[in-house]
Amino acid sequence: MKAWEDKIRRVVPYTPGEQPKRPVIKLNTNECPYPPSPSVEQAMRALDADTLRLYPDTEALPLVKALSAAYGVEEDQIFVGVGSDDVLAMAFMTFFQGEKPILFPDITYSFYDVWAELFRIPYEKVPLDGTFHIGKEDYYRENGGVIFPNPNAPTAIAEDLDFIRDILRHNQDVIVIVDEAYIDFSEKPSAKELLDEFENLLVVQTFSKSRAMAGMRIGYAFGSRELIKAMKDIKYSFNSYTMNLPSQMAGAAAAADQDYLKHTVQKVVATRERTQKRLAELGFSFPKSEANFVFASHKTKPAREIYEALKKKDIYVRYFDKPRIYNYLRITIGTDAQMDQLFDALEKILR
């Protein structure tokens, strides 16, 4: 071993879903099967390359203004970043420090433990109950902070506002982060409704799912002025140019088109309902989905076998080889035509 090798910081990185290099039916990373708002393409076409000579607005004001108008949240209560992964990483760095462990579910977004390890934050995974629900009482104890997605991923289960309010009431001394990557697909309201009640609440959302812009990498957070200011101070100490100019323009155009967002969500939700019905007929069980994916287990055929057989047919779904969930598949909702191809393939595999 070379002497400098022990100087290298070693981490076990997050494993994202596969991005195959050839066209497949891609139901493995919860992307949107429909294009973004037409106004995004217009904004991209209108971009003058000469403007790229200059650094972009550090505060990403065009995007922040559009988000403020779309959601009725003050500009100084909005933080934007390069995907919600960036926003969440900044939030971990800013709010989670100290000796006490932060709490998050044992079955959840698998980036949380990666950030906790990276930033050397002590953490404790709180088991979901037998039906994969979060037990809110499990969070009524001393901790260094709380984070959970709502709807949770990969379970697709959403909790209502009272549930989140109860967790906040019992956690007034720490920061509570609600990761709402999938909230637009749920009938439950966003926790942003609670911002006036709780100054220690951070609500994180993304353009990657319902706005069909995963490739643009845009995420944002709503919170009290104090929280947002603290996050910006950290961000500007890291890289003061929050977001590139094309992303700011495209993001602003998308945020201004809330009707299109609703339209996309309706289509995905309609296909999701059809998908759940068909999967049940095929012998799968799953928690009722409030997201753009279904977390399903088959009554006889092991999930890994189904995953591998689907992959051979160029249909990619997500499989997690992890305790408690190794017999589940996370299936993203695609177009109706893509789901029909999935059902045909499943019929053959399960015969």
Q: Which residues bind ligand PMP (CB under 6 A)?
A: 83-85, 109, 149, 153, 179, 181, 206, 208, 214, 219
User: What are the CA-CA distances from residue 220 to residues 29, 53, 120, 299 (Å)?
Assistant: 20, 25, 24, 39
Q: Shortest Cβ distance from residue 53 to ligand PMP (Å)?
A: 28
Closest CA to 149 of 27, 292, 252: 292
Beta strands in the chain (DSSP E): 25-27, 78-81, 102-105, 123-126, 146-149, 176-179, 201-206, 219-223, 284-285, 293-298, 315-319, 329-332
Residues 6+ apart with CB under 8 A from 90: 79, 81, 231, 234, 235, 238
Q: Which is nearer to ligand PMP, 319 or 345 (CB)?
A: 319
Q: Shortest Cβ distance from residue 81 to ligand PMP (Å)?
A: 9
Q: Shortest Cβ distance from residue 80 to ligand PMP (Å)?
A: 11
Q: Which is nearer to ligand PMP, 90 or 345 (CB)?
A: 90
Residues 6+ apart with CB under 8 A from 53: none
Q: Shortest Cβ distance from residue 14 to ligand PMP (Å)?
A: 9
Q: Shortest Cβ distance from residue 299 to ligand PMP (Å)?
A: 27
Tokens 């909790």, residue located = 159
Q: Shortest Cβ distance from residue 269 to ligand PMP (Å)?
A: 18
From CA 282, how far away is CA 235, in angstroms rounded? 48
From CA 228, how far away is CA 79, in angstroms rounded? 6
Q: Shortest Cβ distance from residue 179 to ligand PMP (Å)?
A: 5
From CA 245, how far away is CA 47, in angstroms rounded? 9
Q: Which is nearer to ligand PMP, 71 or 109 (CB)?
A: 109
Q: Which is nearer to ligand PMP, 63 or 349 (CB)?
A: 63
From CA 222, how far away is CA 264, in angstroms rounded? 23
- First-to-final CA distance of the chain: 53
Q: Shortest Cβ distance from residue 317 to ligand PMP (Å)?
A: 15
Q: Which is nearer to ligand PMP, 83 or 349 (CB)?
A: 83
Q: Which is nearer to ligand PMP, 159 or 179 (CB)?
A: 179
From CA 251, how far away is CA 80, in angstroms rounded? 10
- Structure tokens, 128: 């979901």
Q: Taking CB positions, which residue lies at the least distance from ligand PMP? A: 83
Q: Which is nearer to ligand PMP, 56 or 219 (CB)?
A: 219
Burial of 70 (0-12, 13-18, 19+ CB in 10 A): middle
Q: Which is nearer to ligand PMP, 80 or 230 (CB)?
A: 80
Q: Shortest Cβ distance from residue 142 to ligand PMP (Å)?
A: 25
Q: Which is nearer to ligand PMP, 153 or 230 (CB)?
A: 153
